[in-house]
């Protein structure tokens, strides 16, 4: 059983901040910044593509983001989810990081830049559109 399933069933402890019948949220053990929270579905699902589109996890993320935004000195929030080892996922139970941001905190998220041609961008947008439209 994965470590997050063990947190869900109480086998290992966690500092819980929210719980309902479907979701659990608790402090990340590593606290990338102060107040770093993880939100998970109680059922074991490996990545975001294993969830139903109707999944309500983002309602919980929004609720918690609103709560975290009221903590002292919180100026912003990063919402992050690593899906797959290549994306940096280390626990294979889907989770969303809520990471409060403070002036001059040491947290770093860096996007690389790829300058694509208009043709390539058109092709790419069409490929995704075709797969996502109902």
93 catalytic? Reply is no
Is residue 44 a contact point for Zn ion (CB under 5 A)?
Answer: yes
CB of 30 to Zn ion, least distance (A): 18
Q: Is 23 in the site for ligand 5GP (CB under 6 A)?
A: no
Residue with the shortest CB distance to ligand 5GP: 30
For residues 65 to 84, the per-residue mask of contacts with ligand 5GP, x marking binding by CB under 6 A and - elsewhere, is: -----------------x--
- Residue (49 or 134) nearer to ligand 5GP, CB: 49
Q: What is the DSSP string of the chain?
A: --HHHHHHTTSS---EEEE-SSEEEEE-TT-SSTT-EEEEESS---SGGGS-TT--HHHHHHHHHHHHHTSTT--EEEEE---SGGGT--SSS--EEEEEE-TT-------------HHHHHHHHHHHHHHH--
Q: Which residues bind ligand 5GP (CB under 6 A)?
A: 3, 14, 26-30, 82, 88-91
């Amino acid at each position: 059983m994965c470590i997050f399933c063990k947190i869900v069933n109480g086998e290992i402890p966690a500092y819980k901040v929210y719980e309902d019948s479907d979701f659990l949220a608790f402090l990340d053990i590593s606290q990338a910044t102060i107040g770093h929270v993880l939100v998970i579905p109680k059922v074991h699902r490996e990545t975001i593509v294993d969830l139903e589109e109707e999944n309500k996890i983002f309602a919980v993320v929004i609720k918690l983001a609103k709560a975290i935004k009221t903590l002292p000195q919180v100026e912003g929030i990063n919402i992050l989810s690593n899906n797959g080892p290549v994306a940096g996922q280390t626990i294979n139970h889907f989770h969303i990081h809520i990471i409060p941001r403070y002036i001059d905190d040491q947290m770093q998220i860096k996007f690389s830049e790829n300058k694509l041609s208009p043709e390539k961008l058109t092709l790419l947008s069409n490929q995704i559109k075709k797969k996502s439209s109902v």
